[in-house]
Amino acid sequence: MTSARIATLVVSILALPAGLVGALGVLVLSNGVLATTTPAWTMELHLAGWAFEVSVPGLIRLATAPGVAYLSDGRSFSSAIGRIELRREGGALVAGCAPCRFEHAALASTPLAVRSAELGVERSGASVKGWLSVDDVRVEYSAELASDRLRLRWQLPRTEVARAYHAIKSIVPEARSARIEGLFEAHGQLALPRGTGAVSFSVSGLEVGGLGTEALQFGWFAMSCREADGNLRRIVNGDTETRWVSLDRMGAVLPAAVIAAEDQRFLVHHGFDSTQVALLLANLDKSGPRRGASTLTQQLARTLYTGGEKTVARKLRELLYAIEMERTLGKTRILELYLNTVDWGPGLCGARAAARTYFRKRPNQVTPLEAAWLASILRAPHSAYELQFRANRPDSERARRILTQVRLLSTSERVLWSRRPLRLASAPAALGTALSEKSALRDANRHAPIAEADVESAESAGDGRLAVGTAAVVR
C-alpha cells in the first residue's frame, strides 16, 4: 500500500460523526500519527485546507487499530483509482474497488484498468498481514512495522500464467489474443520506503501462440530504423534485401562476439533468463525497470514489436513474443534476424551497415577484435557513434574484455588478437553538439534498439488501441 493510498484510507476513517472526534484524537496520538522526528518515515497529508506532516507507519497503525474495521464497515469514498468500498472481514479491514484504474510511470505508459482490486489488512502489534487481489490473482503478504520502515514479505501461489496476463490486458494488449499456457509461482521481499527487494519465481509449461511471429521465418518485413536526428525511418528488411546478410555469410566471429557480449546463455535458454528477470523486477526505480536482463530473443522482440519504453508492461509484452519466437523461429533464425535488425548507430540497422561504416568491411571480414568492439557498443550505439567513432577514440579495453569471452576462439587466439591495435574507419564530420547530446540521452534512456509503437498498419486496419507490434510482413 502506498503512502497516498494509506492517507486516503485514513481520511475516510476520520470522516465520522462529530461525537467520535475525541476518540479519534486519542487514536491519532496513541498510534504515533504525529511522530515525525527523524528518522521517521513521513509524508505530507492535506486535509480540509491544512497540510500536516504525518508518520506513514502511524497512519498504518491508525487504519488497523482495534475497532476501526467496525467503524469503517460499509463506508465508501471516491479516490483517484475509483470508488473505494470498505468492509470488515473478521478482524481485517478490506478496501476494494470495482472497477479500478491505476497509473504509475514504472508500470506502463497508459493506465492499468482492472475489473476489481482488493486490499485486506490486519495488525497485531507490529505485525501486519493481509492480501492483495487483482481480478482472480491473489497475493498474500505479511510485514513488520517500524517507525521508519515497513519490511514486507509476499507470496503468489501457483497460478495460471494466462490468468495473470488477462488481469493486466489493458496494458498488455497481446493478452487479449495470445494463447498462453503454463503455471508460475513467486515470492519476494520489499522494503519501504526504499523500494528495494528480492523476487524469486518459477515457471512451468510456458507456451505462447497466436502472435504471428512465424511470419518472420522467411521473406521481407517492415521495421523502423532510428536516424541521427532521433526520427524513425520505416525500411523493408529481410531475405534477399540488399541490407540483409544471411547467417551463413555473416562469418562465425561476429555472431560469437555478440552472444558473448549480450547473452552468453542464448543457446540454452528458452527466450528469457528467469534469474535475471527476477533481479530486474526486484529493483525498480521511479523511471521503471533498470536496463539489462534482456536475452537476444527479447531484444529482437523489442526491435520488431514492443518498442523501448522503460516499463514493466513492456517487459511483460516482450516476454510473450520471445517465448513464441523461440518456438516458431528457432535459435538460428532468431540470431540471423537479430544481427540484421539490431541498432548499431544512427541509421545503422544491421551488421552489414555497421561493418561497412565502422570498418569498411563486410561482416564476415571483421577481425575478432573488431567484432568484439561492434558487440561492445550494442548497449549504447548512438553514444558510441559520437564519442568513439566520430572522435576516433574506440574503447579498446571494453572490446578486449569481450574478446576474452568469445569461446569460439582458443585462448592463444584471444591473446593474439587482444594485442592487435583497433583502428576504426574514417568518420564523417561530427554532428552538432545538440545532436550529440540527443544521441547520448537516447542511449541513457534505453538499452537496445527501439521500434516505434505507432503501428501504422494496425491502426489503419482497425482500432489502434488493440494494435500489437510494429513488424509488418511484406509479401
Predicted TM-score (pTM) of this structure: 0.81
C-alpha cell at 191: 522494503
- Provide the CATH number for the domain formed by 213-474 in this structure: 1.10.3810.10
Rounded Cα distance between 85 and 75, Å, is 6
Render each residue's pLDDT in the chain as its tens digit; 475 residues.
455 555 554 444 444 444 444 444 545 544 556 666 777 788 777 766 777 787 788 878 888 888 888 888 999 999 999 999 999 998 899 999 999 999 999 999 999 999 999 999 999 989 999 999 999 999 999 999 888 888 999 999 999 999 999 999 999 999 999 999 999 999 999 998 888 888 888 899 999 999 999 999 999 999 999 998 889 999 999 999 999 999 999 999 999 999 999 999 999 999 987 766 666 555 544 444 454 568 999 999 999 999 888 899 999 999 999 999 999 999 999 999 999 999 999 999 999 999 999 999 999 999 999 999 999 999 999 999 999 999 999 999 999 999 999 999 999 999 999 999 999 999 876 544 444 445 544 443 443 333 333 323 333 333 333 333 456 554 4
Contact 448, 309 (CB under 8 A): no
Contact 186, 171 (CB under 8 A): no
**Residues making up the chain, counted from first to last:** 475
Characterise 174 by phi-psi region: left (phi > 0), alpha (psi -120 to 50), beta (else): alpha
Q: Give, rounded to a whole angstrom, the gap between the first and last alpha carbons of the chain.
A: 51
Which 3 state secondary structure label does DSSP give 45? strand
Query: DSSP assignment, residue 264?
Result: T
C-alpha cell at 103: 497509473
Beta strand pairing status for 82-89 and 92-97? Answer: antiparallel
Tell me which amino acid residue 30 is. S
Burial classification of residue 158, based on how many CB atoms lie within 10 Å of its CB (0-12 exposed, 13-18 middle, 19 or more buried): exposed
For the chain, residues classed under CATH 1.10.3810.10 are: 213-474
Q: Is it true that the peptide bond before 99 is cis, omega within 30 degrees of 0?
A: yes
Contact 141, 153 (CB under 8 A): yes
